[in-house]
Amino acid sequence: MKDTLRPGIRATHTFTVPSSKTVPALYPEAPEFVAMPEVFATGFLVGFLEWACIKAINPYLDWPQEMTLGTHIDVSHEAATPPGREVTATVELVEVAGRRLVFEVEAHDGVAVISRGRHERHIIQRDKFLARLLGPR
């Protein structure tokens, strides 16, 4: 990581919700999910918030050799967003503790705040991580 990776880094990321990111699409093999309304799924919302954090800090890493993995998420999902609506995430890096990074996150769909909370990521060396993952257990 570069010495410029410090708290205060802010970024926004925008995405238009497609039908493929709605609740029925989250687990199409589960009839319980398929029966639910076609709105932005919480699982995909979490991924969208992670994506915004990754985009915010990648310029401060030796990417792609160095990258981050999500290790904790504590966010609300406060409003339903239909497909076709644009969502915007605003993220801020609020803590750097060694390889642990903590973000404040918020998402808005142009009508209401749909999510807010905190997200934690850890910096990894991709090759070392994969070697440990694929190595003997």
Asked whether residue 5 is assigned to any structural domain, the reply reads no
What gap in Å lies between CA 65 and CA 46, rounded to an integer? 24
Asked whether residue 4 is assigned to any structural domain, the reply reads no
Q: Which domain holds residue 84?
A: 10-134
- The pLDDT of residue 59 is 96
- The pLDDT of residue 1 is 86
Task: List residues with catalytic annotation.
Answer: 42, 50, 77
Locate 28 and state its tokens: 């199409």
Asked whether residue 59 is assigned to any structural domain, the reply reads yes
Q: What is the CATH number of the domain that holds 61?
A: 3.10.129.10
- The pLDDT of residue 83 is 98
- The pLDDT of residue 39 is 98
Asked whether residue 75 is assigned to any structural domain, the reply reads yes
- The pLDDT of residue 137 is 64
In tens, the pLDDT along 62-101 reads 999 999 999 999 999 999 999 999 999 999 999 999 999 9
Asked whether residue 3 is assigned to any structural domain, the reply reads no
In tens, the pLDDT along 35-60 reads 999 999 999 999 999 999 999 999 99
